[in-house]
Amino acid sequence: MNFNGQNTAPIYIQIAEWIENEILADRLLPDGKVYSQYQLAEIFNINPATAGKGLTILVEKEILYKKRGLGMFVVTDAKHRILTTRRSETLTKMAKEIVQESKRLGVLDEDLIKLIKHIQQEG
């Protein structure tokens, strides 16, 4: 991962996203141990507290869980949880953009719904 300024998200968010991507790519497996905050800090040359904040986000999202004295581990259905969340967020964002653009263009709600149904039928 590269923190060269191309991604404007805070580094701890980028760490959380990187770990999620590792789970999606099956490089971190269900019930598998995850890098510690100190390992992440060393890998990415960041402050351990920043890395820890990224891990905490994933614990709060129930993607990772802690085993006292052993570290962080991947929740059994983490991949499914990540996919479900990302799909929902992506579709919601796209739908909002479509609705906003249709309003700017003066498209009636009924016409937008017809268009979506037509596109669905085309497959």
Q: In the prediction, which pLDDT does 8 show? A: 86
Is residue 88 located within the same domain as residue 64? Answer: no
User: How many distinct structural domains can be found in the chain?
Assistant: 2
CATH code for the domain of 55: 1.10.10.10
What is the domain range of residue 52?
A: 11-76
Query: Using 50, 70 and 90 to split pLDDT, how confident is the model at 3?
Result: low
Tokens 């959380």 belong to which residue? 16
Q: Is the pLDDT of residue 4 over 60?
A: no
Structure-token pair, residue 17: 């996203």
Q: In the prediction, which pLDDT does 62 show? A: 97
Asked whether the CA dihedral 23, 27, 29, 33 is positive or negative, the reply is negative
Mean pLDDT of 54-65: 98
pTM reported for the whole predicted model: 0.76
